Amino acid sequence: MRILLSPSETKSVGGSGAPLDLASLSLPALTDTRRSVAGALVAMCADDPDGARTALGLGDSLAAEVTHDAHLWSSPTAPALSRYTGVLYDALDQSSFTRATRSRAESRLWI
């Protein structure tokens, strides 16, 4: 069984993984669509940060997300369980997972 978790609006910064490789993600049939959507996001954030904030509905507290999104193709990555923050992800407390717990989570959770 897979459990689908929605991504969180808030994210941790940083990571030590290689830049985003869309072809390595689950559901490879979505790669072209992901590339198109991500490319449009990067272009919008790089070319018109204020317009991007409006289009994305980001308030002042999330203004830095536009800068992060503009560098999507070159930024280091982190596993989604580590990247996302907020009520749901704080309650999951992935930092407390044992190897077995992490393995189960990675096989059962889709974000």
In angstroms and rounded to an integer, the radius of gyration of the C-alpha atoms of the chain is: 15
Distances (CA, A) of 95 to 14, 27, 39, 98, 109: 16, 27, 32, 9, 16
Q: 22-60 pLDDT, tens per residue?
A: 999 999 999 999 999 999 999 999 999 999 999 999 998
* 9 vs 22, more confident: 22
The pLDDT tens digits of the residues spanning 78-109 come to 999 999 999 999 999 999 999 999 999 999 99
Name the residue ranges covered by the structural domains of the chain: 27-75, 77-111
